[in-house]
Structure 1
Amino acid sequence: MSSFKRDKKEEEDSGGSPFMNLDKTIVLQEARYFNETPVNPRKCSHILSKILFLLNQGEKLSTQEATDVFFATTKLFQSKDVMLRRMVYLCIKELSKLAQDVIIVTSSLTKDMTGKEDLYRAAAIRALCSITDSTMIQAIERYMKQAIVDKNPAVSSAALVSALHLSSTAPDLVRRWVNEAQEAINSDNAMVSYHALGILANTRRNDKLSIVKMVTRLAKSPLKSPYALCLLIRLAAQLVENDDSDAAQPYIEFIECCLRHKSEMVIYEAAHAIVNLRKTARDLAPAVSVLQLFCGSSKACLRLAGARTLARLTSKHPTAVAACAVDLENLISDPNRSVATLAVTTLLATGAESSVDRLMKQISSFVSEISDEFKIVVVKAIRRLCQKFPRKHQSLAAFLAGMLRDEGGLEYKAAIADAIITLVEENPEAKETGLAHLCEFIEDCEHTTLAVRILHLLGREGPKSRQPSRYIRFIYNRVILESGPVRAAAVSAMAQFGAQRPELLPNIRVLLARCEMDDEDEVRDRAIYYNAILDSGDQQLINDFIIDVPKSNPILLEKALRDHIATKPDEPFDIMTVPMEEEKKKEKEDVVEIEARKPKQMTIEEIYTQQLSRVPGIESLGPLFKTNIPIDLTEPETEYRVRLLKHVFVRHIVLQFECLNTLNDQILEKVSVRLDCPPEYEIKSMLFCQRLVYNQPGSVFVVIEFPCAYLDSLGTFGATLEFVVCDCDPNTGAPDPGEGYADTYPLEEFSIYCLDQIRARIMGDEWDSTWERAANVPEVSGNFVLPELDPATAAKSVCEVLGIPKSGIIDGAIKEIRGGGVFRGGAPYLVKVRIGPSSEGVRMQIAARSPREDVAQLLLAALE
Structure 2
Amino acid sequence: MNDSIFEISAFVQGCRSDVKYSPFMGIEKGAVLQEARVFNDPQVDPRRCSQVITKLLYLLNQGESFTKVEATEVFFSVTKLFQSKDTGLRRMVYLIIKELSPSSDEVIIVTSSLMKDMNSKIDMYRANAIRVLCRIIDGTLLTQIERYLKQAIVDKNPVVSSAALVSGLHLLKTNPEIVKRWSNEVQEGIQSRSALVQFHALALLHQIRQNDRLAVSKLVVSLTRGSVRSPLAQCLLIRYTSQVIRDMSNHGQSGERPFYEFLESCLRHKAEMVILEAARAITELDGVTSRELTPAITVLQLFLSSPRPVLRFAAVRTLNKITNFMSDIADEFKIVVVEAIRSLCVKFPLKYRSLMTFLSNILREEGGFEYKRAIVDSIVTIIRDIPDAKESGLLHLCEFIEDCEFTYLSTQILHFLGIEGPNTSDPSKYIRYIYNRVHLENATVRAAAVSTLAKFGFMVESLKPRITVLLKRCIYDSDDEVRDRATLFLSVLVGDGTVDTDEDSKEFLFGSLEVPLDPSEEAFDINSVPKEVKSQPLAEKKAQGKKPTGLGAPLAAPASGFDGYERLLSSIPEFAAFGKLFKVDPSTGEAEDDGVEDEYQLEDLEVVAADYMVKVAVSNFRNAWESMDEDLGHVDEYGLGPRESLGEAVKAVVDLLGMQPCEGTETVPSNARSHTCLLSGVYIGNVKVLVRAQFGMDSSKEIAMKLAVRAEDVSVAEAIHDLVSSG
TM-score for both structures, normalised by structure 2 = 0.46
- Answer with 1 or 2: which has the greater Rg: 2
TM-score for both structures, normalised by structure 1 = 0.39
Give the strand-richer structure, 1 or 2.
Answer: 1
Give the helix-richer structure, 1 or 2.
Answer: 2
